[in-house]
Structure 1
Amino acid sequence: MTTTDPAPHPHATADEVQAALQDTKLAQVLYHDWEAETYDDKWSISYDERCIDYARGRFDAIVGDEPLPYGRALELGCGTGFFLLNLMQSGVAETGSVTDLSPGMVKVALRNAQNLGLQVDGRVADAETIPYDDNTFDLVVGHAVLHHIPDVQQALAEVLRVLKPGGRFVFAGEPSTIGDFYARWVSRATWAATTTVTRWGPLQSWRRPQEELDESSRAAALEAVVDIHTFDPADLADTARRAGAVHVETATEELAAALLGWPVRTFEAAVPPEKLGWGWARFAFGGWRRLSWLDDHVLHRVVPQKFFYNVMITGTKSAAGA
Structure 2
Amino acid sequence: MTDEQPAPNPHASADEVAAAYQDTKLAQVLYHDWEAETYDDKWHISYDERCITYARDRFVGAVGADNEEPYERALELGCGTGFFLLNLMQGGIAKKGSVTDLSPGMVKVALRNGEGLGLDVDGRVADAETIPYEDDTFDLVVGHAVLHHIPDVEQSLREVLRVLKPGGRFVFAGEPTTVGDFYARWLGRITWEITTNVTRLPFLREWRRPQAELDESSRAAALEAVVDIHTFDPDRMEAMARRAGAVDARVTTEEFSAAFLGWPVRTFEAAVPEGKLGFGWAGFAYGGWKTLSALDENVLRRVVPRRFFYNLAVTGTKPA
Equivalent position amino acid for 1:48 in 2: D
User: 1:75·1:141 contact (CA, 8 Å) conserved in 2?
Assistant: yes
> Larger deviation: 4-13 or 180-189?
4-13
Q: Which residue of 1 aligns with 2:5?
A: 5
Where 1:274 maps in the other structure, the secondary structure is: coil
Give the whole-Å Cα distance in 2 for the aligned partners of 1:174 and 1:153: 14
C-alpha displacement of 1:200? 1.3
Q: Which residue of 2 aligns with 1:61?
A: 61
Equivalent position amino acid for 2:79 in 1: C
Per-residue Cα deviation, 1:89-113 (whole angstroms, up to 9, x for no partner): 0000000000000001000000000
C-alpha displacement of 1:181? 0.1
User: 2:27·2:227 contact (CA, 8 Å) conserved in 1?
Assistant: yes
Q: Which residue of 2 aligns with 1:258?
A: 259
Equivalent position amino acid for 2:34 in 1: W
Equivalent position amino acid for 1:22 in 2: Q
Where 2:67 maps in the other structure, the secondary structure is: coil
> Larger deviation: 210-219 or 174-183?
210-219
Q: Which residue of 1 aligns with 2:98?
A: 97
C-alpha displacement of 1:174? 0.2
Give the whole-Å Cα distance in 1 for the aligned partners of 2:163 and 2:14: 38
Q: Which residue of 1 aligns with 2:247?
A: 246
RMSD: 0.9
Equivalent position amino acid for 1:21 in 2: Y
Equivalent position amino acid for 2:267 in 1: T
Equivalent position amino acid for 1:188 in 2: R
Matches within 5 A, 1:20-169: 20-64=20-64, 65-66=66-67, 68-169=69-170
Q: Which residue of 1 aligns with 2:220?
A: 219
Equivalent position amino acid for 1:228 in 2: I
Give the whole-Å Cα distance in 2 for the aligned partners of 1:199 and 1:156: 47
* TM-score in terms of structure 1 length: 0.98
C-alpha displacement of 1:88? 0.2
Equivalent position amino acid for 2:179 in 1: I
User: 2:188·2:267 contact (CA, 8 Å) conserved in 1?
Assistant: yes
Per-residue Cα deviation, 1:167-206 (whole angstroms, up to 9, x for no partner): 0000000000000000000001111111111111021111
Q: Which residue of 2 aligns with 1:302?
A: 303
Give the whole-Å Cα distance in 2 for the aligned partners of 1:66 and 1:301: 24
Give the whole-Å Cα distance in 1 for the aligned partners of 2:11 and 2:278: 29
Instruction: State the identity %.
Output: 76
Per-residue Cα deviation, 1:15-58 (whole angstroms, up to 9, x for no partner): 32222111111110011011111111111100000000000000
Equivalent position amino acid for 1:200 in 2: L
Equivalent position amino acid for 1:170 in 2: V
Give the whole-Å Cα distance in 2 for the aligned partners of 1:67 and 1:104: 30
In the alignment of these two chains, the number of paired residues is 319
C-alpha displacement of 1:273? 1.5
Per-residue Cα deviation, 1:98-154 (whole angstroms, up to 9, x for no partner): 000000100000000000000000000100000111100000000000000000000
Give the whole-Å Cα distance in 2 for the aligned partners of 1:127 and 1:263: 31
Equivalent position amino acid for 2:291 in 1: R
Equivalent position amino acid for 1:166 in 2: G
Q: Which residue of 2 aligns with 1:272?
A: 273
Give the whole-Å Cα distance in 2 for the aligned partners of 1:11 and 1:237: 39
Give the whole-Å Cα distance in 2 for the aligned partners of 1:155 and 1:110: 23
Equivalent position amino acid for 1:295 in 2: D
C-alpha displacement of 1:214? 1.3
Per-residue Cα deviation, 1:249-270 (whole angstroms, up to 9, x for no partner): 1100000001110111111111
Structure 1 stretches of 4+ with a deviation exceeding 4 A read none
C-alpha displacement of 1:210? 1.3
Give the whole-Å Cα distance in 1 for the aligned partners of 2:119 and 2:95: 9
Per-residue Cα deviation, 1:285-316 (whole angstroms, up to 9, x for no partner): 00000000110011001001100000100000
Gaps of at least 5 residues in structure 2 are: none
Give the whole-Å Cα distance in 2 for the aligned partners of 1:247 and 1:293: 27
Q: Which residue of 2 aligns with 1:182?
A: 183
Where 2:189 maps in the other structure, the secondary structure is: helix
Where 1:318 maps in the other structure, the secondary structure is: coil
C-alpha spacing 1:302/1:29, structure 2 compared with 1 (3 Å): same
User: 1:17·1:218 contact (CA, 8 Å) conserved in 2?
Assistant: no
Q: Which residue of 2 aligns with 1:193?
A: 194
Give the whole-Å Cα distance in 2 for the aligned partners of 1:2 and 1:280: 42
C-alpha displacement of 1:67? 6.1
Q: Which residue of 2 aligns with 1:16?
A: 16
Give the whole-Å Cα distance in 1 for the aligned partners of 2:215 and 2:304: 39
Where 1:275 maps in the other structure, the secondary structure is: coil
Where 2:229 maps in the other structure, the secondary structure is: coil
* TM-score in terms of structure 2 length: 0.98
Gaps of at least 5 residues in structure 1 are: none
C-alpha displacement of 1:13? 3.2
Q: Which residue of 2 aligns with 1:210?
A: 211
